[in-house]
Homo-oligomer: A and B are copies of this chain.
Amino acid sequence: MDLATIIGILGGFGLVIVAMASGGGLTWFLDGPSAMIVLGGTLGAVLINYPISDVLGVIKVAKNVFRGKTQQTGTVINQLVEMSRISRREGLIALQNMISRTKDPFLTKAINLVVDGVDPIHVSEILETELDFIGERHRLGAEIFTTMGNFAPAMGLIGTLIGLVQMLKQMSSPGTIGPAMAVALITTFYGVVLANLVFLPIAGKLKTRSSQELLLKQLIINGILSIQSGDNPRVLEQKLLSYIAPGERRSRFYRDSKDKATNG
């Protein structure tokens, strides 16, 4: 469970709701038709913009936002260094026994290719293509939320313009302007809240998540190719440790690592 997302949503919405309630009544801000035009209009624009399969796929992707980080980069580095040592002692075929112990399907696929004796050039090409398309699918998910974040305030503006025109057309006494204009403004309010507390932050989180996952997979590709070319496990470890922040580095070889430095 990703705590930050929960705190952010509860905190952000909580403060907005408190502010709405404190100055009058919460019901002043509830308006069915306004919600319908902003949510429905945004969904409509997104459905014109993307194939229906991609829009439905977003629901699956959005769940990732609430899921905690599942894999530790450090663990994967340890596995790769271990595999490097095994393959140097017992040959690449011996990595077959590692497959059952890996949970990451990408790593499993990479080991399979190496064990099957596929040429390094093809291993690299297959894994890089796979990585590109995983990145592409992630990017699409974040992009759909960004698009929703851009359309929502526009739909709010459309709703407010409808309200304003209706108000101005039947304006008789100045006393009735206030409440009518309040209703007109509610769609803009909905659009701005949805964009800035829901759609855009979720798009941001999906991008951050994606780059973490792609980084880990890039590290796996580099590690696997290094293993296949028979690199020294120590050099491999140093290469892979460069991928993570100095504070998180735990070497198998240097217990009191002189590598504790390189902050920045």
Give chain A's interface residues, CB within 8 Å of chain B. Answer: 2-5, 7-9, 11-13, 15-16, 18-20, 22-24, 28-29, 33, 36-37, 40-41, 43-52, 54-55, 65, 69, 105-106, 108-109, 112-113, 118, 122, 125-127, 129-130, 133-134, 137-138, 147, 151, 154-155, 157-159, 161-171, 177-179, 181-182, 185-186, 188-189, 192-193, 195-197, 200-202, 204-205, 208, 213, 217, 235, 238-239, 242-246, 258-259, 261-264
Nearest B-chain residue to A125, judged by Cβ: B239
Pairwise interchain contact A185-B168, C-beta atoms closer than 8 A:
yes
Q: How far is the CB of A16 from chain B (nearest CB, A)?
A: 6
Pairwise interchain contact B239-A48, C-beta atoms closer than 8 A:
no
Pairwise interchain contact B106-A4, C-beta atoms closer than 8 A:
no
Pairwise interchain contact A262-B109, C-beta atoms closer than 8 A:
yes
Residues of the B chain whose Cβ atoms lie less than 8 Å from the Cβ of A261? 105-106, 108-109
Pairwise interchain contact A50-B4, C-beta atoms closer than 8 A:
yes
Cα-based distance from A157 to B245 in the complex (angstroms): 38
Pairwise interchain contact A168-B161, C-beta atoms closer than 8 A:
no
Which one, B28, B130, B155, contacts A262 given CB within 8 A? B130
